[in-house]
Amino acid sequence: MKKKLNISAALASATCALLHPYASANEMLEGWKIDTSLMYYGETDRVSAVEAVIAGQKDFGEEQLLSGKIVIDTLTGASATGAVAQLTAQTVSRPSGEGTYTVSPGETPLDDTFKDTRVQLDGQWTQPWSDVSRITTGLHLSTEHDYYSLGFNGSYAHDFYNKNTTLSAGLAYSYDVIKPEGGLPVPFATKTASINTSEDYDDNEDDESEDDDDDNDNYDNDERLGSSDNKSTVDVLFGLTQVMNRRMLMQFNLGFSEISGYSTDPYKVLSIVNEQGLTQSLVYENRPDSRTKTFAFWQTKYALDFGVVDFSYRFATDDWKVDSHTFDSRLRINLTDSSYLQPHFRYYNQSAAEFFHPFLMEGQVLPEFATADYRLGEMSAYTFGLKYGTKMDNGDELSFRLEYYQQSPKNAGFTEPGTLQDVDLYPSVKAVIAQVNYRF
């Protein structure tokens, strides 16, 4: 017991300090259920992230619950810029304007300046409204060097038929500020310092000498709209949870989202190519400043004699014309009274956004909106994972999770001109997820 309190004191004092700096750690931590996780996410040759989560929940008795969460994540590595690969080497400038980097022939251009640390805080309070209903209110805060988000949420849940049926309705509002490195790019403005070199790539050094003059200011030669912009999101959610029988529980959720504000990714570009498939220039992308989304979600949990089956399906659609289907399933197999193994399989696919273009053709009129970000293109993805968990004598639980996630972007029907047919415009993204959890 003493050891438990010391670990609690050490790890959760950060959470409690924010709520009540002068209370003694032990006093604050009584009755808290803490769940901690450390996760590593690594894509081959691309982005890697390390994420740490500390989530706590305290029952104040009489159905009043306080829960809080702190997430800290650091991101490093490179992500696709949206530009197409070429048969020859390409030189591209960094978003901040600080220097250029060279992309080898056949390689998808990746921007490697993504080193970021994000801190997220969530707090939630649940209060009974009557003996068959509850209200929940929550706060959300997230901050990283170029993005800030503040959100509020509230929901009401009502039980019927001896809690066999629960209906809930929730509303959430979020206000985000984006302050990209190098300022906001003008849509479709040409990104400077993108030169095709016909020489063979044999130089590993980044060419920084050309940009010495620009080191003094934060902006490169490109025109900028301003330094920051914002975006608001309103979410409405309706939920129905139904106990089907002694072993089975189902949940149906219906959600609507309205996003308005700056939705463009300021770091992404599109390649303008000629009929031979050679990149002539890179232009900044542009996305609509509003998005209306709808989703339907259904989940079932079934208690087996040896474990639990968890299966869910989500259908989503929006006015950007991205339709997606997600199938997620987990099978928990209890090995002993205190340990289990849980395989996990997830399948996802989405259709391309209306304004998705893998590249733009030279000479054609520019569309109003365009993006080459593969995350808005047609793609399917699957995840295979395995989790192992064990409960210790003192009630604490330790678990490990290892997953493999592969995204396979697809051609949504664009004909590739000239040499673009000889490069891979839709490379797969493969990632490994490794995570350890400790619950006490």
Partner 1 sequence: MRQFLLSLLVIHISFTPLSLSFAQEMAAPDFAISNAQLPNKLSDLKGQVVYLDFWASWCKPCRKSFPWMNQMQHKYAGEGLQIIAINLDTEAALAKAFLDKVPAQIPIVYDPKGKVAKGYELLGMPSSYLIDKKGKIRFAHKGFFTRTEPLYEQELILLLNEKE
Partner 2 sequence: MLKKARITVAFLISTQLVGCVNLGVQPWERDLLAKEEMALDSEGNDLGLDDHIYFSKEATSGGRAFAGGGCGCN
Residue 76 touches partner 2, criterion: CB under 8 A: no
Smallest Cα–Cα separation from 318: which of 370, 264, 355, 285? 355
Smallest Cα–Cα separation from 180: which of 136, 149, 148, 152? 148
Residue 130's binding partner, choosing from partner 1, partner 2, none, with beta-carbon cut-off 5 to 8 A by kind? partner 1
> Based on the number of CB atoms within 10 Å of its own CB, is 127 exposed (0-12), middle (13-18) or buried (19 or more)?
middle
Q: Which is nearer to partner 2, 29 or 352 (CB)?
A: 352
Which residue among 7, 25, 42, 69 contacts partner 2 (CB under 8 A)?
69
Which residue among 88, 104, 280, 300 contacts partner 2 (CB under 8 A)?
300
Q: How far is CA 6 from CA 2, 9, 37, 55, 192, in A?
A: 6, 5, 18, 17, 56
The least CB distance from residue 238 to partner 2, in Å, is 9
How many whole angstroms separate alpha carbon 134 and alpha carbon 170? 12
Q: Which is nearer to partner 1, 21 or 61 (CB)?
A: 61
What DSSP designation does 370 have?
B
Q: Which is nearer to partner 2, 179 or 314 (CB)?
A: 314
> Which listed range, 186-194, 215-223, 312-320, 417-425, lies at the site for partner 2 (CB under 8 A)?
312-320
Q: Which H or E run contains 19?
A: helix 2-19
Residue 130: which residues within 8 A CB-CB, separation 6 or more? none
164 SS3 class: coil
Q: How crowded is residue 392: how many other Cβ atoms within 10 Å of its Cβ?
A: 11
């390649």: which residue's tokens? 271
Q: Which is nearer to partner 2, 279 or 350 (CB)?
A: 350
Q: Which H or E run contains 27?
A: helix 25-29
Q: Which is nearer to partner 2, 253 or 279 (CB)?
A: 253
Which residue among 9, 87, 278, 316 contacts partner 2 (CB under 8 A)?
316
| 244 φ, ψ (degrees, to nearest 5) | -85, -50
**Which residues of the chain form contacts with partner 1 (CB under 8 A)?**
61-62, 130-131, 162-163
Residue 348 touches partner 2, criterion: CB under 8 A: yes
> Which listed range, 21-29, 183-191, 289-297, 412-420, lies at the site for partner 2 (CB under 8 A)?
289-297
Residue 326 touches partner 2, criterion: CB under 8 A: yes
Residue 145 touches partner 2, criterion: CB under 8 A: no
Mask 1-40, x = binds partner 2 (CB under 8 A)? ----------------------------------xxx-x-
Which residue among 164, 221, 292, 421 contacts partner 2 (CB under 8 A)?
164
Residue 109 touches partner 2, criterion: CB under 8 A: no
Residue 108 touches partner 2, criterion: CB under 8 A: no
């259920």: which residue's tokens? 33
Q: Which is nearer to partner 2, 92 or 353 (CB)?
A: 353
Q: Which is nearer to partner 1, 130 or 415 (CB)?
A: 130
Q: Which is nearer to partner 2, 262 or 420 (CB)?
A: 262
Which residue among 113, 280, 299, 339 contacts partner 2 (CB under 8 A)?
299
Residue 243 touches partner 2, criterion: CB under 8 A: yes
DSSP of 247-313, one letter per residue?
TEEEEEEEEEEEEEE--S-TT-EEEEE-TTS-EEEEEE-B--SEEEEEEEEEEEEEE-SSEEEEEEE
Instruction: Identify the bridge partners of residue 236 per DSSP, sorted by sequence position.
Output: 171, 256
Q: How many residues bind partner 2 (CB under 8 A)?
A: 80
How many whole angstroms separate alpha carbon 52 and alpha carbon 49? 10
Smallest Cα–Cα separation from 221: which of 91, 94, 102? 94
Instruction: Identify the bridge partners of residue 439 per DSSP, sorted by sequence position.
Output: 35, 397
6 SS3 class: helix
Which residue among 78, 381, 420, 425 contacts partner 2 (CB under 8 A)?
381
Question: Using CB under 8 A, which residues numbered 248 to 267 contact partner 2?
Answer: 248-251, 253, 255, 257
Q: Which is nearer to partner 1, 159 or 354 (CB)?
A: 159
> Which listed range, 179-187, 276-284, 316-324, 417-425, lies at the site for partner 2 (CB under 8 A)?
316-324
- State the Cα angle at 221 between 218 and 222, rounded to 5°: 95
> Which listed range, 92-100, 144-152, 267-275, 296-304, lies at the site for partner 2 (CB under 8 A)?
296-304
